[in-house]
């Protein structure tokens, strides 16, 4: 009778044990879906859309090198990109799709205030965490618990710019440059108003150091 090789028995038993171990392990957790709404097409596809996609993709690659620790197990992230076409209605529809069909756990992107505001109004009611990358309009996050922003609001930027110019640069006159073809007129008015308020109220430090100094003249555009 031919004897079975000990090496064959060892390989067979090792394979059997390894198979049992793998079978007993729970399946790998599915990726965590994150929605990204950006103007991939339209006027701002290069300045806001593609740059946001590139930044999010780079961050995703770095995070997925180790994964997110979910119940002690590394879990990858999955980025689902939707083109809002620089349209508020399209942006809201994209948010609905991401939540209902893709089952994302959060939404980011929305670099433009005109799309970030309507989307945030909708996602706040779901609710689902939403982060705008560069929206500066106060209404994006005002009175909302699940909406966040990276950039500072227009009013705050205007006050800080005016205070820095008055206190540090000793400037008494200011000019505001903007593209007349740009449709964000309300944002320009908010910044201009905030700069004027900041110039009129430069703060305690400036008032103490400039008593008796002529106040900066207000220049109204013609």
Kindly state whether residue 23 falls inside one of the protein's structural domains. Answer: no
How many of the other CB atoms lie within 10 Å of CB of 210? Answer: 14
Whether residues 50 and 123 fall in one domain: yes
pLDDT over 80 (residue 172): yes
Whether residues 136 and 39 fall in one domain: yes
Kindly state whether residue 21 falls inside one of the protein's structural domains. Answer: no
Measuring CA to CA, which residue among 182, 194, 187 is closest to residue 47? 182
- Split into its structural domains, the chain has a count of 2
Whether residues 197 and 173 fall in one domain: yes
pLDDT over 50 (residue 67): yes
- Counting residues of the chain whose pLDDT is more than 70, the rounded percentage is 67
Whether residues 136 and 205 fall in one domain: no
Give me the pLDDT at residue 177, please: 75
Give pLDDT tens digits for 36-55: 999 999 888 888 889 999 99
Across the chain, what does the average pLDDT equal? 79
Give me the pLDDT at residue 211, please: 45
Kindly state whether residue 48 falls inside one of the protein's structural domains. Answer: yes
Whether residues 52 and 144 fall in one domain: yes
Q: Which residue has the higher pLDDT, 9 or 30?
A: 30
Cβ(149)–Cβ(131) below 8 Å: yes
Q: Which residue has the higher pLDDT, 83 or 21?
A: 83
Q: Which residue has the tokens 């555009």?
A: 221
- The CATH number of whichever domain residue 40 belongs to comes to 3.40.50.2300
Whether residues 99 and 163 fall in one domain: no
Kindly state whether residue 180 falls inside one of the protein's structural domains. Answer: yes
Give me the pLDDT at residue 13, please: 46
pLDDT over 70 (residue 58): yes
Range of the domain at 42: 32-149
Instruction: Give Cβ neighbours of residue 155 (< 8 Å, ≥ 6 apart).
Output: 138, 190, 193, 194
- Give the pTM: 0.68
Kindly state whether residue 110 falls inside one of the protein's structural domains. Answer: yes
Where a domain ends, among 99, 126, 149? 149
Give me the pLDDT at residue 80, please: 96
Q: Which residue has the tokens 């500066």?
A: 136
Whether residues 53 and 73 fall in one domain: yes
Give pLDDT tens digits for 69-101: 877 788 899 999 999 999 999 999 999 999 999
Q: Which residue has the higher pLDDT, 220 or 64?
A: 64
Kindly state whether residue 10 falls inside one of the protein's structural domains. Answer: no
């Amino acid at each position: 009778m031919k004897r079975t090789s000990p090496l064959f028995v060892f390989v067979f038993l090792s394979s059997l044990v390894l198979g049992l171990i793998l079978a007993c392990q729970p399946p790998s957790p599915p990726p965590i879906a994150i929605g990204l709404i950006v103007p991939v097409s339209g006027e701002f596809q290069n300045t806001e859309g593609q740059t946001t996609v590139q930044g999010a993709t780079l961050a995703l690659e770095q995070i997925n090198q180790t994964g997110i620790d979910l119940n002690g197990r590394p879990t990858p992230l999955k980025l689902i990109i939707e083109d809002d076409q620089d349209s508020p209605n399209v942006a809201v529809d994209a948010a609905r799709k991401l939540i209902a069909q893709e089952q994302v756990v959060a939404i980011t992107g929305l670099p433009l205030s005109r799309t970030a505001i309507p989307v945030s109004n909708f996602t706040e009611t779901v609710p689902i965490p939403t982060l705008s990358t560069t929206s500066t309009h106060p209404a994006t996050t005002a009175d909302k618990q699940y909406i966040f922003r990276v950039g500072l609001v227009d009013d705050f930027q205007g006050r800080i710019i005016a205070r820095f110019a008055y206190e540090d640069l000793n400037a008494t006159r200011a000019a505001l440059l903007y593209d007349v073809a740009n449709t964000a007129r309300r944002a320009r008015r908010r910044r201009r108003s905030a700069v004027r308020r900041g110039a009129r109220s430069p703060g305690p430090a400036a008032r103490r150091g400039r008593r008796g100094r002529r106040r900066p003249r207000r220049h109204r555009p013609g």
